[in-house]
Amino acid sequence: MDDWINTLGQGLLLGGMYALFATGLSLSFGIMRLINVAHGDFIVLAAFAAIALVEPLAIGPFATLPLVVLLMAGFGYLLQRLFLNRTLGEDPLRPLLVTFGVSIVIQNALLEIFSADMRGLDAGPIETASIPLGGSVAVGVFPLLVAATAVGVIGALQWLFYRTALGRAFRATADDHRTAQLMGIDNRRVYALAMALATAVVAVAGVYLAIRSGIGPSDGPQRLLCAFEAVAIGGLGSLWGTLAGGMILGVAQAVGLWLDPGWGAVSGHLAFLLVVVLRPNGLFPKTRDK
Amino acid sequence: MLEVHALHAYYGDFRALHGVDFRVEAGETVAVIGANGAGKSTLLRSLTGLLPAPFSSVFFEGQPVGGLPPHVIVRLGIAMVPEGRCLFPSLSVEENLLIGAQCGRRGPWDLAAVYRLFPALEEKRATPSTLLSGGQQQMVAIGRALMSNPKLLLCDELSLGLAPLVVREIYAALPRIKGEGAAVVTVEQDTGQAMRIADRLYCMQEGRVALEGVPRTLTPERVSQAYFGI
């Protein structure tokens, strides 16, 4: 029984990580209808940015967070403003191809600068600390922190979307960008801000990923897959759905891993396939297409 | 206040407007009529910037606005009630209205003023805009445009798909909108409606202005000839 509870708990907390991976993807698709193939590489880029900052600045991994978030938000804003905005239009293939190219550029640039070695961040004892909950049940402090961050980030985004003028502009632009322009909204600026928001969340995911495990320059596509699955399970356009999607993915992987060490990744993919077959729009879709 | 000189407009290689001259004076109500495909909506799209117009063919208050993007033109004081209403389905009624105020122009129109104009909207303020009746949706679309406190309000096919009684109710709001100082351009397929409300009338045909004049000086024969081209 305790084993089951531990497995479930680990899966749920792992799901927090996946939700952080997926939130940016969910945002850029939800607002711009942009499928960002380079999303996984953004996560890896953020992780390496943190790794590069730790030594010269002599700061801990967590202290790099605000810096990396700012850097990545700036990167996302400029990327959208200078490149991706030019690809948006009737043809959905163009942004797909351009972000695929960006993905290759990031992977090779990281390979050139950091070599192919796996790197990571050492956060000290917090990485292995756990809180006993009676019996043999325990939760890891770091996974708990990650999951709490995911809930906090999504809660904050939800507030932004439904309680602020900027969020209203985001939703209106997502609905109908032409009419939004008639209302005085500069959709190109809105898109750039949305991408900045997405890459800011990516930055958090990247730093946490570097603390949790080793990471190499070509790990991006794998992260993209997790993120994509979490978004698809949750349903497009719903941020809480993305959180739920991440957690379903995490629990499936943890259960698979517990049954047989080789089944972890596979059972995650199976859960994804199952949901897509039964509910093609995901479990909590919110996107309203015309 | 608005002057259009020899405006040409293209969709790709297709020329939709062939040298249209058009003007609106302050406080005036101008109706544009014409059959389907006559270029009425294209004219409005050119004025709002959705279809970029040549730089020197559209002047608003003496300033060339051709080629400016839509979000800049609305800040100058030209607001649009688009054909088919185009409300934002994810937004509530009140949020739709607030989006209209996004461009930050000050003036007589705010939430309270719009609710005074269309009292039916106030009790529906938290309702998703898609759940309203067609007439109420049109009221939201008009209110949303008014929230930007325009000097010039462009209305594309206000009566489209609405029952005659509802159309009359919507047009009844027009005098109060004009009373706050805005000039109005209304594009209509309903010629009778257009003749009743307009100070001046343009009839378009195949991308050209076929007739311009004050409604009461125009005979039905002249109008129908300009409308149908026969």
Per-residue model confidence as pLDDT tens digits over B149-184: 999 999 999 998 899 999 999 999 999 999 999 999
Residue A178 to residue B95, Cβ atoms within 8 A: no
Residue B83 has pLDDT above 90, yes or no: yes
The C-alpha of B45 sits at a distance from chain A's nearest C-alpha, in angstroms, of 10
Q: Is the pLDDT of residue A236 over 90?
A: no
- Would an 8 Å CB–CB cutoff place B144 in contact with chain A? yes
Report pLDDT digits (tens) over A15-70. 999 999 999 999 999 899 899 999 999 999 999 999 999 999 999 999 999 999 99
Nearest CA in chain A to B44: A182
Q: Is the CB of B99 inside 8 Å of chain A's CB atoms?
A: yes
Complex ipTM, two decimals? 0.92
Nearest to B102 among A165, A175, A288 (CB): A165
Helix (H, G, I), strand (E, B) or coil at A38: coil
Question: What token pair was written down for A90?
Answer: 């009737």
pLDDT digits (tens, 9 = 90+) for B93-144: 999 999 999 988 999 999 999 999 999 999 999 999 999 999 999 999 999 9
pLDDT-based confidence at residue A290 (cuts at 50, 70, 90)? very low
Cross-chain residue pair A175–B91, CB shorter than 8 Å: yes
Closest CA to A177 of A287, A82, A89: A89
Sign, CA torsion B88/B168/B186/B77: negative
Q: How much of chain A exceeds pLDDT 70, in percent?
A: 99
CB A212 within 8 A of CB A18: no
Residues of A with CB under 8 A from a CB of B: 165, 168-169, 171-172, 174-176, 178-187, 288
Maximum C-alpha span of chain A: 62
Question: Distance (Å, rounded) from C-alpha A91 to C-alpha A276?
Answer: 25
Q: Chains A, B: CB contacts under 8 A, how many?
A: 69
Q: Which of A168, A183, A288 sits opposite B103 (nearest CB)?
A: A183
Q: Around A290, how many Cα atoms within 13 Å sit in the side-chain half-sphere?
A: 10
Categorize the per-residue pLDDT at A287 as very low, low, confident or very high, splitting at 50, 70 and 90: low
CB-CB under 8 Å, A184 with B91: no
- Write the DSSP symbol of residue B158: T
Whether B74 and chain A come into contact, CB under 8 Å, resolves to yes
Phi, psi of A215, deg, nearest 5: -145, 140
What is the model's pLDDT at position B23? 96
Contacts B144 to A, Cβ<8 Å: 183
**B contact residues 188-207, partner A, Cβ 8 Å cutoff:** none
Give strand ranges (E) for B54-182: 58-60, 63-64, 78-81, 152-156
Average pLDDT, chain B: 93
Instruction: Please name the amino acid found at residue A98.
Output: V
Please state whether beta strands B152-156 and B78-81 pair in parallel, antiparallel, or not at all (unpaired): parallel
Contacts of B146 in chain A (CB under 8 A): none
Q: Residue A169's closest chain B neighbor by CA? A: B99
Inter-chain touch B148–A288, beta carbons under 8 Å: no
Q: How far is B122 from chain A (nearest CA, A)?
A: 19
Using a CB-CB cut-off of 8 Å, the residues of chain A touching B50 are 178, 181-182
Asked if B92 and B131 touch (Cβ cutoff 8 Å), the reply is no
Count CA atoms within 13 Å of residue A264 on its CB side.
11
DSSP, collapsed to helix, strand or coil, labels residue B152 as strand
Shortest distance between the Cα of A11 and any Cα of chain B, in A, equals 33
Where residue B12 falls among pLDDT bands split at 50, 70, 90? confident
User: Which residues in A lie closer than 8 A to residue B98 (C-beta atoms)?
Assistant: 165, 168
How far the first Cα of chain B sits from its last, in Å, is 33
* Contact across the interface for A172 and B75, Cβ inside 8 Å: no
Contact B69 A176 (CB under 8 A): no
Longest pairwise C-alpha distance within chain B:
50
Answer whether residue A215 shows pLDDT above 80: yes
Query: What is the distance between the alpha carbons of residues B7 and B5, in angstroms, rounded to a whole number?
Result: 6
Interface test with chain B among A183, A238, A287, by most B beta carbons within 10 Å:
A183
Cβ-nearest to A178 among B50, B90, B100: B50
B100/A165 CB distance under 8 A: no
Chain B residues with beta carbon closer than 8 angstroms to that of A180: 88, 99
Tell which of A179, A185, A238, A290 to mutate to test the B interface (max B CBs under 10 Å). Answer: A179
> HSE of A48 in the Cβ direction (CA atoms, 13 Å)?
25
Is the predicted pLDDT of residue A289 greater than 70, yes or no?
no
Question: Where in chain B does DSSP place strands (E)?
Answer: 2-11, 14-24, 29-34, 58-60, 63-64, 78-81, 152-156, 183-188, 200-205, 208-213
Whether B218 and chain A come into contact, CB under 8 Å, resolves to no
Record: contact A180-B88, CB cut-off 8 A: yes
Model-level pTM greater than 0.90?
Answer: yes
Alpha-carbon distances, residue B127 vs A162, A166, A171 (angstroms): 14, 20, 16
